[in-house]
């Protein structure tokens, strides 16, 4: 069974950058939609962005547009969340998620596989 393995979180100052990775263990991401979500302290989980693995088209939440981007490396079977110009309000646990049906979307209930989460802390 495929598992999602996340890495790349950490502590960064405001204005800095981090890149999160999400790798598949057990099979490829072919035909999947890969989403990124985050859960800030004391808040509900929220949508960050999604990429269709086959087509490569991407959708981002408005608050991260122009700062974050999602990409994929088919050779490494890994999806990335590049985060630039980070702000303290980006502090959260970040999760990658997979929709094996390939649709994705903004609702977390559309995803049936989840990574373990990685902490991103942005200091002011």
In terms of C-beta density within 10 A (0-12 exposed, 13-18 middle, 19 or more buried), how is residue 76 classed? exposed
How far is 74 from 87, CA to CA, in rounded Å? 30
Beta-bridge partners for 58: 51
Residue 119 scores a pLDDT above 80? yes
Average pLDDT over residues 11-26: 95
Residue 60 scores a pLDDT above 90? yes
Percent of the chain with pLDDT over 70: 100
Residue 68 scores a pLDDT above 80? yes
The closest alpha carbon to 49, from 60, 41, 58, 40, belongs to: 60
Beta-bridge partners for 22: 6, 79
Task: Calculate the average pLDDT of the chain.
Answer: 95
Confidence of residue 83 (pLDDT cuts 50, 70, 90): very high
Residue 96 scores a pLDDT above 80? yes
């Amino acid at each position: 069974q495929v598992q999602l393995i996340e890495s790349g979180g950490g502590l960064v100052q405001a204005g800095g950058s981090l890149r999160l990775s999400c790798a598949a263990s057990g099979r490829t991401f072919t035909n999947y939609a890969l989403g990124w979500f985050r859960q800030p302290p004391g808040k509900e989980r929220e949508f960050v962005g999604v990429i269709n693995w086959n087509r490569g088209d991407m959708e981002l939440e408005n608050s991260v547009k122009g700062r974050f981007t999602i990409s994929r490396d088919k050779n490494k079977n890994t999806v990335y969340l590049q985060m630039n110009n980070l702000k303290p309000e980006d502090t959260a646990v970040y999760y990658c998620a997979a929709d094996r049906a390939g649709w994705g979307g903004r609702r977390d209930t559309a995803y049936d596989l989840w990574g373990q989460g990685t902490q991103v802390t942005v200091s002011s």
